[in-house]
Structure 1
Amino acid sequence: MTAERKQRGSLEPEQTGAKIDFSEKYDVSSLKNKTALITGGATGIGQGIAIALADAGVYVTIADINTTEAESTVRKITEAGHKAQFIHCDVCSWDALVSAFKSAIDFSPENTLDIVIPAAGISNHEIRNWLGGAKENENGDPEPLPLKVLDINLDAVFTSAHLAMHYFKKHPGPANSEKQIIFVASMGGYTSMTGVLDYCTSKWAVRGLFRALRGARGIMGEKGPTLRCNLIAPTYVKTPMTKSFWGYMEQIGLKMAEVSDCTDVLMRMAADENVIGRAAAIAGDKASFDLCDDAEGLDAGREVGLSVSENKFGYTGRARKVATPAAVVKQEVPMDEVSTDTA
């Protein structure tokens, strides 16, 4: 193994780069003519990511089930003179995901794939029924749990990461190239959100996947491309999925982040090759910060604790006490009217 390859990494469980300095400027010119696949890129955070990458000269493939919104997003990108395509894709379908990956590679000027962002995500609180005991059928037996949130937020992300590794190695592109997976988790994967069972389970698991994969810089072999993984963990973000409780968040004094806050951090991660294995919390008013999700940072415990004590998310009034949707669990806001998903 060459000295360069050793420096770029192999299989080292906790290999991370330096803490992100958000005061430093970053240059997106290195992304020009790269190819990216984004699941869930039709709306919300995924849409913002797709537009930002396309603006930087990336060939963007949006894989989504929402045809109308995805086509509108692609039209907006192409009318601005940039490159994007939409592939209809149910991320829970293996065949559909494989087709989306192959289409992204075909769309690439280099017949390769450089960046994968599995951003598709939902939140559905039907599983709240588990809190009070399972529903029963006419025979008195428990009915199956609704697991769509886990199917999309976890299984599809795991599958997307697997396919990314496969196609990164099969279509490596130029020599000494670098491939990226940027995960979209949530602060719900770092803090307690009582009663939000399926969503939090999925986001903690995505964090675990990121932690397990980020040290595998050289997993594709000495002659293969290197892998760089990072993660964004949004707090409450203003997206169509969260619109039903914007008013409630304002009422309790919690300042929500904007999609642009997410895209700014993600673009920094994508463009700066020195951002390696880092996880960043997304907050409004450009107050995002590195979670220090490593041994030195006590697995993010230090930064998460400080984020509350130093009020990094801009909580005011009741929100200082309602940092998680406790009021939702208490039914102050109907649970089925609230989506805590940020993607």
Structure 2
Amino acid sequence: MQLKDKTALVTGGGRGIGQGIAMALAEAGADVAIADLDIAIARETASKVEALGRKSLALKVDVADVDSVNHLIDEVATAFGHLDIAVNNAGIISIKSIAELSAGDWDRVMAVNAKGVFLCTQAELRVMPPRQFGRIINVASIAGKLGFPDLSHYSASKFAVIGFTNAVAKEVATDGVTVNALCPGIVGTGMWRGDEGLSGRWRQEGESEEASWERHQKTLLPQGVAQTPEDMGQLAVYLASAAHVTGQAIAVDGGFSL
């Protein structure tokens, strides 16, 4: 298997895209530590990784807190002996127009989505370069390539992740470490689904949330169907294996951001 003997960390790995990436890495042969603010769901995903015959570890982390992040990386390095692949996936979403948006809303999204990626990447780069091997994958979004109404703060945080990723990739290019951004498209997780998601927010008069979800897939996506956490896992495995792909922001979005 292409990732045999590699160790990986996925933040926000307890559910959704993070879980899909964690499982794909495990299926490719990696041992995978699962970090999440919710330790219960981290443990559930870790048990699924172990069911595939891989080693796993569930850890609690607040990616916006420097001490919590540094402790996380120390725990993973101690438990596994080294860290080869880090997927900085933890993130949050809120849906508000610019008129509705408060300074607190802005700060909270930036703290997790942008500062969290910075803190995790910085800590991971303490342990990767000495071994002359590392793969850092920062989960951004197509909202980091295209602006969306009601998501100005979220888009700003994801644009920041893409710029940060490109800059850091150039800093560590000779250290055996690659740094890339994975940009999910329309995935049927909490950002889109439900009355509080985008398909609920953007439904037309008399339209159900389910009908809105179906309409947005067909009108926004050239392929006409949403992407899945498993799709994101496929790209993560590729980026974890590729030696000469770095500084990129690659979308898995069915052609939306072409």
Tell me whether the two structures share a fold, i.e. TM-score over 0.5: yes
SS at match of 1:73: helix
**Structure 1 residues 163-205: Cα deviation after superposition (integer angstroms, max 9, x where no partner):** 1112224xx34xxx32111111111111121331210010000
Q: What is the aligned partner in structure 1 of residue 186 from structure 2?
A: 236
1:113 aligns with 2:63: no
1:276 aligns with 2:246: yes
Maintained 8 Å contact 1:131/1:195: no
Q: What is the aligned partner in structure 1 of residue 222 from structure 2?
A: none
Q: What is the aligned partner in structure 2 of residue 66 from structure 1?
A: 38
Q: 2:51 aligns with which of 67, 73, 79?
A: 79
- Identical pairs, percent: 30
Structure 2, unpaired ranges of 5+ = 200-208, 220-224
Aligned equivalents of 1:86, 1:157: Cα separation in 2: 19
Q: What is the aligned partner in structure 2 of residue 166 from structure 1?
A: 126
Maintained 8 Å contact 2:2/2:29: no
Maintained 8 Å contact 2:31/2:56: yes
The amino acid across from 1:154 in the alignment is A
The amino acid across from 2:38 in the alignment is N
Q: For residue 240 of structure 1, report the CA deviation from its aligned partner.
A: 4.4
Q: For residue 44 of structure 1, report the CA deviation from its aligned partner.
A: 0.9
Q: What is the aligned partner in structure 2 of residue 182 from structure 1?
A: 137
Maintained 8 Å contact 2:24/2:233: yes
Aligned equivalents of 1:204, 1:55: Cα separation in 2: 30
1:145 aligns with 2:104: yes
Aligned equivalents of 2:155, 2:191: Cα separation in 1: 16
The amino acid across from 1:67 in the alignment is I
TM-score, normalization by structure 1: 0.64
Aligned equivalents of 1:241, 1:48: Cα separation in 2: 16
* Higher alpha-carbon Rg: 1
Q: For residue 281 of structure 1, report the CA deviation from its aligned partner.
A: 1.1
Q: What is the aligned partner in structure 1 of residue 214 from structure 2?
A: 250
The amino acid across from 1:197 in the alignment is S
1:131 aligns with 2:99: yes
Q: What is the aligned partner in structure 2 of residue 198 from structure 1?
A: 153
1:38 aligns with 2:2: no
Q: What is the aligned partner in structure 2 of residue 226 from structure 1?
A: 176
Aligned equivalents of 1:199, 1:132: Cα separation in 2: 14
**Structure 1 residues 228-278: Cα deviation after superposition (integer angstroms, max 9, x where no partner):** 112211111122453213722203424311111111112111112232333
Aligned equivalents of 2:246, 2:65: Cα separation in 1: 30
Distance 1:69 1:241, change over 3 A: farther
Q: What is the aligned partner in structure 1 of residue 73 from structure 2?
A: 101
Aligned-residue CA RMSD (Å): 2.1
Aligned length: 237
Structure 1, unpaired ranges of 5+ = 1-28, 135-143, 220-224, 289-303, 308-343
- 1:323-338 to 2 correspondences below 5 Å: none
TM-score, normalization by structure 2: 0.84
Maintained 8 Å contact 2:184/2:232: yes
Runs of 4 or more, structure 1, over 4 Å off, are none
Aligned equivalents of 2:118, 2:151: Cα separation in 1: 21
SS at match of 2:138: strand
Q: Larger % of helix: which?
A: 2
Q: What is the aligned partner in structure 2 of residue 50 from structure 1?
A: 22
Maintained 8 Å contact 1:118/1:183: yes
Aligned equivalents of 2:33, 2:237: Cα separation in 1: 16
Q: For residue 218 of structure 1, report the CA deviation from its aligned partner.
A: 4.4
SS at match of 1:242: coil
